[in-house]
A and B are shown apart, each in its own frame.
Chain A
Amino acid sequence: MIKFKGINGWIVILLAVAGTMTTATPPSVEASSLSPGQTNRVFNIGEGEEYSRISDALEQVSDRDTIRIHPGVYREHQLIVAQSVVIIGIDRPVIDAGHQGEGFRIVADSVHIEGLEIRNVPTSHSRDHAAIRFDRVSGGKIIDNRFDDTFFGIYLARSHGVEIRDNQLRAYQTREAVSANGIHLWNSNHAVIAGNIINGHRDGIYLEYVENSEIYDNHAVNNIRYGLHFMFSDDCTYHRNRFEDNGAGVAVMYSKRVMMEDNEFLQNWGASSYGLLLKEITDSEIKHNNFSGNTTGIRAEGSDRVKIHYNRFQRNGWAIRITASSMDNMITQNNFIDNAFDVSTNSRQNNSTFEANYWDKYSGYDLKGDGYGDVPYRPVRLFSLIVERNPMALMLLRSMFVQILDLTERIMPTITPETLVDEKPLMSEVSL
């Protein structure tokens, strides 16, 4: 596993080196000396350079040209990129849209944008203004840019194979209605979203009708709604991401075959907040993730055949809340530590399997010495059912009375789901 990750990393670095080499070796001739129609020309933009405005240069370029933007603040907006060009910022020039409209609109394939800072893209209720929008293109790279106070940051519509890497996005709205997503993909396949930091947007990363895409090494923090939001997006993978202090962590909805691995879901607090919300998810896998300090670690509604294994659930209010409408899920080899409630459900029905997990509240013994407790463990407490029905009862948490109730129920289950039992609880933690 680690080895695979390592190789992947090397490939990434090689690609990046290759990318910079191609952009770093423009002909050393002056741009003005080139005649129109020639390829691989370089346009310099900035004070004392040939062009003072980016839009002027964009009107002149043709495919495979390079635009070098020198340091400075460029008060421009609605920059249409209609040719396959490389746009490079030197010492991070600032493009200030001045709350007038969108930043770049890319309508050509394989456009490369790197090293810019884009600011002040206005909030709009009628138009989806973005700092950089890809519209019906194939290929393209957005690398190492900063986005400050933009409505949408990066917006992909019907664009395939675009790579979004190492960008930092920062927004400042506090209400969901007037904010937009950091990285927004709609009807776009084969995207790579990696190494981005997204802070203060509505959803950090939003995917709708996206297939075969990979999302990794991103850090979504303090976003108003979700850190990552999946809708109708099959066959995607996300791994090594960190989701922290977002309104509600990660929501994965109406998708198939999603692979979720090595992510961290931390401190997502709130009345309807989760580390991870699964809604109508099928045939997916949740592996090696860390759920820590969330109101709810995982909430699963109507999700089938999801394999949840090798995860760590620590100090959550609820580690897993699973509705009875979820079928044939397999929960195994996880560590449950210091959660107020390990598992909670809404009915006496249970159609999922809990087996061979480590539960810190388990007090059984292992006389056989096979590493599994000889007495089954029932992770659903009576009190968690009481709380599901009467939320106010939560204030009795850790009361002696409640502990007596739980004990009675554990000895003689009458209300908690009979089949929700770990028959082989582990005696010691799974090493992850």
Chain B
Amino acid sequence: MIAKILKYQLRDVMRSKWIIAYALFFLGLTDILFRFGGDGVRVATSMMNVVLIVIPLASIILGAFYLYNTREYIEMLLCHPVKRHQLFWGMFLGLGLPLVLAFTGGVMVPFIYHGAGPEAWTAAGMLAFTGSMLTVIFVGIAYYLALRFDDRIKGLGLALVICLFFTVIYDGIILLVIYMFANYPLEKPVLALSLFNPIDLGRILLLLQFDISALMGLTGAVFRDFFGTVLGMAIALGSLLLWLFVPVYGGFRRFLYKDF
């Protein structure tokens, strides 16, 4: 049943103008960077900034809009013999998958036709992975918000605030903490803080890929000892998965018991 819902869902979303625009945005940008910069690692590094800002914002806004707009459609489907949990996963994957495909496709295709070395492919792969994770995480948050608040102005407003919080404000707080407690051993608390922000987590995973030599400098030992180990990597990935699971599960529970 999930597959049936997903099939039509994908057909619908893949034909929409905004998903095509979204894919073309990444394709165009990556292509231009290739034409200006040349080598693949540089392109991936430049795309990193874009990915960390655009993907959370786009995913959370599109996610909230999408769910608000399909409200009547969801009601209509629920009058048919469709189970709520099936419909939820159909709707979630129905938006998440096209967004992931549009992003990874948009970024990867120029790497194929411009040609890139193995190092650039690793970088691009890491970029695609992090971007995809951030996409589903923020679609999950958006779904939770849209199901929690029937008032769409409230839901969209909150989505924007959450996005702003994670992209900007949270890092400001971290910097403040670093300054206020400069005389204490801060490595572990700050590392722990970074686990509570999916964008920071994604950023650090990418930093380790791209700016390793810079990070190996002053704080190098800390990062290497933590993210360099299997345990550290597992914790980082586990945190990302938790970030994926918690909002999606919250949305899922809401969807099961919601009055439409």
Partner of B217, one of A271, A293, A338: A271
B207 at the interface (CB under 8 A from A): yes
Instruction: State whether A394 touches B171 (Cβ < 8 A).
Output: no
Instruction: State whether B214 touches A400 (Cβ < 8 A).
Output: no
Q: Which residues of B contact A296 (CB under 8 A)?
A: 217
Q: Which of A338-393 contact B (CB under 8 A)?
A: 338, 340-341, 386-387, 389-393
Q: How near does chain A come to B178, taking the closest CB pair, in angstroms? A: 5
Instruction: State whether A401 touches B171 (Cβ < 8 A).
Output: yes
Q: Which residues of A contact B194 (CB under 8 A)?
A: 395
Interface size on B, residues (CB 8 A): 41
Q: Of A100-108, A115-123, A126-134, A313-321, which stretch is located at the interface?
A: A313-321
Instruction: State whether A402 touches B207 (Cβ < 8 A).
Output: no
B174 at the interface (CB under 8 A from A): yes
- A273 to B217 Cα, complex, angstroms: 7
When each residue 265-300 of chain A gets 1 if its CB lies under 8 Å from chain B and 0 otherwise, what string results?
001011101000000000000000000011110000
Evaluate whether A315 and B220 lie within 8 angstroms (CB atoms) in the complex, with A400-B168, A401-B175 already known.
no
Evaluate whether A399 and B171 lie within 8 angstroms (CB atoms) in the complex, with A271-B221, A390-B182 already known.
yes
Q: Which of B187, B194, B203 has the most CB of A within 10 A?
A: B203
B73 at the interface (CB under 8 A from A): no
Q: How near does chain B come to A414, taking the closest CB pair, in angstroms? A: 16
B216 at the interface (CB under 8 A from A): yes
Instruction: State whether B168 touches A401 (Cβ < 8 A).
Output: yes
Q: How near does chain B come to A248, taking the closest CB pair, in angstroms? A: 12
A13 at the interface (CB under 8 A from B): no
Q: How near does chain A come to B123, taking the closest CB pair, in angstroms? A: 12
A396 at the interface (CB under 8 A from B): yes
Q: How near does chain A come to B82, taking the closest CB pair, in angstroms? A: 41
- A293 to B157 Cα, complex, angstroms: 43
Q: Which residues of B contact A269 (CB under 8 A)?
A: 212-213, 216, 220
A17 at the interface (CB under 8 A from B): no
Partner of B45, one of A338, A341, A401: A338
Evaluate whether A394 and B203 lie within 8 angstroms (CB atoms) in the complex, with A316-B213, A317-B213, A401-B175 already known.
no
- A401 to B165 Cα, complex, angstroms: 10
Evaluate whether A294 and B213 lie within 8 angstroms (CB atoms) in the complex, with A270-B220, A387-B218, A392-B187 already known.
yes
Instruction: State whether A398 touches B207 (Cβ < 8 A).
Output: yes
Q: How near does chain B come to A339, taking the closest CB pair, in angstroms? A: 8
Q: Which of B68-117 contact A (CB under 8 A)?
A: none
When each residue 307-341 of chain A gets 1 if its CB lies under 8 Å from chain B and 0 otherwise, what string results?
00000000111100000000000000000001011
Partner of A390, one of B179, B191, B204, B211: B179
Instruction: State whether A396 touches B171 (Cβ < 8 A).
Output: yes
Instruction: State whether B214 touches A395 (Cβ < 8 A).
Output: no
Residue of A nearest to B170 (CB): A401
A412 at the interface (CB under 8 A from B): no
- A400 to B51 Cα, complex, angstroms: 11
Partner of B167, one of A294, A387, A391, A400: A400
Q: Which of B169, B174, B219 has the most CB of A within 10 A?
A: B219
Instruction: State whether B211 touches A295 (Cβ < 8 A).
Output: no
A397 at the interface (CB under 8 A from B): yes
Instruction: State whether B42 touches A395 (Cβ < 8 A).
Output: no
Q: Which of A239-274 contact B (CB under 8 A)?
A: 267, 269-271, 273
Instruction: State whether A398 touches B171 (Cβ < 8 A).
Output: no
Instruction: State whether B42 touches A402 (Cβ < 8 A).
Output: no
Partner of B211, one of A317, A401, A404: A317
- A182 to B52 Cα, complex, angstroms: 47
- A340 to B210 Cα, complex, angstroms: 10
Evaluate whether A397 and B172 lie within 8 angstroms (CB atoms) in the complex, with A392-B178, A392-B190 already known.
no
Instruction: State whether B167 touches A394 (Cβ < 8 A).
Output: no
Q: Which residues of B contact A271 (CB under 8 A)?
A: 216-218, 220-221
Partner of A318, one of B48, B186, B187, B214: B214
B252 at the interface (CB under 8 A from A): no
- A341 to B53 Cα, complex, angstroms: 21
Residue of A nearest to B42 (CB): A338
B243 at the interface (CB under 8 A from A): no
Instruction: State whether B175 touches A393 (Cβ < 8 A).
Output: yes
Partner of A394, one of B41, B49, B200, B218: B218
Q: Which residues of B contact A317 (CB under 8 A)?
A: 211, 213-217
- A400 to B55 Cα, complex, angstroms: 13
Q: How near does chain A come to B34, taking the closest CB pair, in angstroms? A: 15
Evaluate whether A394 and B217 lie within 8 angstroms (CB atoms) in the complex, with A338-B45, A399-B203 already known.
yes
Instruction: State whether A390 touches B214 (Cβ < 8 A).
Output: no
Q: Which residues of B contact A295 (CB under 8 A)?
A: 213-214, 216-217, 220
Q: Which residues of A contact B170 (CB under 8 A)?
A: 401
- A316 to B186 Cα, complex, angstroms: 25
Q: How near does chain B come to A252, taking the closest CB pair, in angstroms? A: 20
Instruction: State whether A293 touches B178 (Cβ < 8 A).
Output: no
Q: Which of B187-207 contact A (CB under 8 A)?
A: 187, 190-191, 194, 200, 203-204, 206-207
Instruction: State whether B217 touches A398 (Cβ < 8 A).
Output: no
Instruction: State whether B167 touches A341 (Cβ < 8 A).
Output: no
Residue of B nearest to A400 (CB): B167
B223 at the interface (CB under 8 A from A): yes
Residue of A nearest to B169 (CB): A401
Q: Which residues of B contact A273 (CB under 8 A)?
A: 216-217
- A400 to B168 Cα, complex, angstroms: 6
Evaluate whether A398 and B48 lie within 8 angstroms (CB atoms) in the complex, with A341-B214, A386-B175 already known.
yes
A and B contact pairs by CB, cutoff 8 A, 8 listed? A269-B220, A293-B213, A295-B216, A341-B214, A395-B174, A398-B48, A398-B206, A398-B207
Which positions in B face A, CB cutoff 8 Å?
41-42, 45, 48-49, 52-53, 167-172, 174-175, 178-179, 182, 186-187, 190-191, 194, 200, 203-204, 206-207, 211-223
Task: State the 3 A-B residue pairs at the shortest beta-carbon distance, nearest first.
Answer: A317-B214, A391-B218, A401-B171
Given contact pairs A271-B217, A341-B214, A393-B175, a sample of 13 additional A-B residue pairs in the complex whose CB atoms are under 8 Å apart = A270-B217, A315-B41, A317-B216, A317-B217, A394-B214, A397-B207, A397-B214, A398-B48, A398-B206, A398-B207, A401-B168, A401-B171, A401-B172
